[in-house]
Amino acid sequence: MRTLIALLISAAPLCAGGSAPNYIDGCQSADGRYTVTAAQTATGSTHNGPHKWAFTWKDNTKGETRTFEAKGLQGGQIYAHLFVPPGGETFALWNNVVLWTEDKSNDHASHTLPPKVDTDAWRKQSVFSRRLIIYSSKDGSIVKEFAVADFLAPEEWDNVLPVFNRVHWIVDYAPLSYRSSLRSGYAFYRISPDYSILEFRVVPVKTDKDKSGRPVRVNLADGRILAVDEKLTDEAKIPVRPFLGPDKIPNNDVAVRDGYTPSLDPVRKEGKFTVAPVPAASIPQFQPAKLIKDGFAKLDTPAWFPEQKILIFTDLDTGKLYKLTDGKDVAELGSGGRGKVGPDGLWYGVVAESLVSWKLGTDKPIQLAANPQMNDIAVSSKKFAYFTTLKDPEKGRLTILDTRDGKTRIAFDGEEEPTLVNPNGVALAPDGKHLYVVISSYKDKKHTGIYRFPILDDGGLNVAAGKKAKWYNATAPDGIAVDPAGNVFVTVGVVVVIVNPDGKKITELKIPKGSGTNLCFGGADGKTLYVTTNNALYAFEPKAAE
């Protein structure tokens, strides 16, 4: 069964007309002996790149496996296909989409190109290079590579436009159109059943009445472009339509797109589109909610201290902190506001209108910032604190604080980012590479949901990448927490929604009464989920393994 290598970026649009995930389809030789697949070895900061790739070649008869860098392919946005012609000495990569270049914008494939009248400079641009690459299966070296210029006649360049990552030098085959399928690359080629002859159609010249384009055939074993009048009589070498599955992805949504399983033999065995089920073993299991204590005015921000094995939480209306010991005993701890525990075991929260760090059991909180107007906070292992304000200014903002020197910087401000208005709950991914931010957007509900921002080396956020699209869509979300497996838990009204690391909802937990305001993990093994509502504290204890 074919391994589909696809990068799923949180920012990738989920509908037709948006960006499909990057992928390179593998291939198995017609005799079944050789298999070649591709995998990403590094991911760029945006969907478009730059990314790194590697190929893995396997001789299924001898059991030999070789992995080598995908030379000539260390680029970005890509929808490509590998083919293994008879003999197994070589394999070919067909790449119909432009590669990432230094001057390419992150949103579109706009380039600084010379005017078309300067034809030599125009045709030699890197954006038109490496359309087809033939590799040696022995060491991954490039045997031969083709650019668009190797396929087009001078008069055909009049139609070429390198915009929106479209492939305006080539014509798609009906009925499998790139306009209707997120796996757009299948519309742009035919391949022989033995994977030796690749066929595609270049842009038509102005005299072509039917606009069907001119067919080009390439021998993938030796890199020879076949003559126009060269006849193919062997059926194994006559190009046919690849991908025998449906012409259009059902529903055209992320669940179906991610559930696509192609075949290593696309001519003989079709791929399948299904909504990929979540393995039951990976779904967190909890017992029904248990009421710990109610009668509060406005509870928020539960925080678990693993060393002392106690939970503290705040009643915002009274300005008091409370502690829970032994999972049942609640007592007043002192004055304070919202706060969370960092990986260093310190509590980071609000005391006397200042953001402080505090070692539980001491009387001297250390001031980090004055009057932060903090709503929620998450602290990384690198000592960066990320905290949100909801309404100060009116549309809120996300601030980054370096707890080592007290310096702050604004990651984004809702006054300037209309899709990121009223940032609310905030949590870090287990590996520290992403920050999840709940956007409440009170006045424009279409933007509410969870957004995921890549974290940069200096503790900053790649806001451009994170704001492109919601990582998970939710109406009126509030608090958020992440478990060690990377599952995201978010309070949405009367339930806690659980979303897996790929952004798919896998289940939800019912809150007995009231709407959830915030949550955290704690308990003896760190697996109990504590949830606050305005007037109560609940605990969801994990189910015992069967």
How far are the Cα atoms of 214, 372, 527 from residue 523, in angstroms, in the given order? 68, 30, 6
Task: Find the distance separating the first CA and the last CA of the chain, reported in whole Å.
Answer: 32
Whole-number pLDDT of residue 125: 77
How far are the Cα atoms of 105, 150, 178, 386 from residue 211, in angstroms, in the given order? 31, 21, 17, 55
Beta strand pairing call for 79-83 and 22-25? parallel
Largest Cα separation within the chain, whole Å, is 89
Side chain identity at 336, as an amino acid letter?
G
Q: What is the pLDDT of residues 176-194, one digit of tens each?
A: 766 666 666 788 899 999 9
CA distance 500 to 278: 9
Q: What is the pLDDT of residues 303-345, one digit of tens each?
A: 999 999 999 999 999 999 999 999 899 999 888 899 999 999 9
**Conformation bin of residue 309: beta by default, left when phi > 0, alpha when psi is -120 to 50:** left
Closest alpha carbon to 437 in 403, 390, 401, 392: 390
Q: What is the pLDDT of residues 105-150, one digit of tens each?
A: 333 444 456 666 677 887 887 778 888 999 999 999 999 999 889 9
CA distance 6 to 25: 9
Q: pLDDT class for 43, splitting at 50, 70, 90?
A: low
Side chain identity at 111, as an amino acid letter?
H
Contacts of 496 (CB under 8 A, 6+ apart): 489, 490, 508, 509, 511, 516, 519, 529, 531, 540
Start-end of H helices in 204-263: 254-258
Q: What is the pLDDT of residues 274-291, one digit of tens each?
A: 665 656 667 899 999 999
Point out which residues pair with 65 in neighbouring strands. Answer: 58
Tell me the whole-structure pTM to 2 decimals.
Answer: 0.57
Q: What is the pLDDT of residues 210-269, one digit of tens each?
A: 678 899 999 999 999 999 899 999 999 999 988 766 656 565 555 566 667 778 888 888
Query: Token pair for residue 103?
Result: 């001057």
Q: Which domains does the chain have, with CATH numbers?
A: 4-273 (no CATH), 300-517 (2.120.10.30)
**Conformation bin of residue 544: beta by default, left when phi > 0, alpha when psi is -120 to 50:** beta
Length of the chain: 546
